[in-house]
Amino acid sequence: MSEHDITRVLGGIYVGGVQPIVDHLPLMATYNITHILSIIKFTVIPEYLVRKSYTLKNIPIDDTEDEDVLQYFNETNTFIDHCLFPNEIEYDPNLVDFKKKPQHGAIYIHCQAGISRSPTFIIAYLMYRYGLTLKMALYAVKRKRLSIEPNENFMEQLTMFEKMGGKYVNDQDKSYKQWKLNKSIKSNPIDNNLLSQDETYTNIDETLNDLNNLSNDQLSQITAIRCKKCRQRLALSTSFINHTPPSKESSEGHFIRRAGHGRRIIDIQESQSICSHYFTEPLNWMKNDLQNKNNELEGKLDCPNCHVKVGGYNWKGSRCSCGKWVVPAIHLLANKVDKFPLKPADLPNKVDFKS
């Protein structure tokens, strides 16, 4: 691959490294490129790009195992759309078959070498615009540029994007919030910025308001968790972090005791079939406990009303009775709470429910 290697992926989408820009390659004259998406940390945007009147967007990230690329997908997908479909009023996959809509522009999407960062954003765009699965989008780019290899962190986030539907990144998505917490705690477990932000915590009352338009049948599928002692509502099942119990044949499906710090096994117990924990996303009433004011990596969660222990947290992870590890682990104990189906009377604004 030459240092000026620029690869056409699909239509007017081109991928490559930074060298063509450094060497002032005439991208507009050669490829009709009018837009440039730079997935790289520029100290100063190259004067050449400004002087030649390219439409620019810079995403200043590194090719590392802790960069959050999901947070940028909405804006980069929109930027690419504005280049390729300049007269489009609004992208709505339910109204038009955009797979057959012709492109009208060309864009160069680059990072340092065109191997990890820029292909990641092109893959996300192909999923968003053309409804491709992650596997299909990865193949579509790789068959044109064999050298691409998004790092494991980027692939993990692309997988999450696929599970979100591949269209729009919702920063309140439970799996995304859990991922951000996990990454954040790993990089700085004590002085954690994320835990100081109100948007990190789900407000139960706001969630209840959002459920007002559900039918009785839909509402009955949602459960409420209450403190066993005082009946204080603590969580809704919409905030649960679901986990799949491991196979009974796997080592994770067993609790193994070893002698001291040695390797000799002295006892093996099969995991339970009923889970002892309800793992949840951070909830608003937990805020004071979770903010690590005492530099603790783990601790208990007390009922905000009667102050009895109802659960706990461990930023390194915790194991359910089924054997499954969840990281980070914020949990309510099944033997300290009761679970009930949600009813219309539980909602703050009663409406006319239709089954």
Query: Where in the sequence numbering do the catalytic residues fall?
Result: 111
Place of tokens 């300290």: 336
Per-state percent for the chain, helix, strand, coil, to nearest 5? 35, 20, 45
Q: Look at residue 257 and give its three-state secondary structure.
A: strand
Which class for 257: exposed (0-12), middle (13-18), buried (19 or more C-beta within 10 A)?
Answer: exposed
Which class for 288: exposed (0-12), middle (13-18), buried (19 or more C-beta within 10 A)?
Answer: exposed
How far apart CA 90 and CA 94 sit, in angstroms, is 11
Omega of the bond leading into 344 within 30 degrees of 0 (cis): no
Q: What count of other Cβ atoms lies within 10 Å of the Cβ of residue 319?
A: 16
CA angle 333, 338, 343 (to 5 degrees): 135
How far apart CA 314 and CA 296 sit, in angstroms, is 9
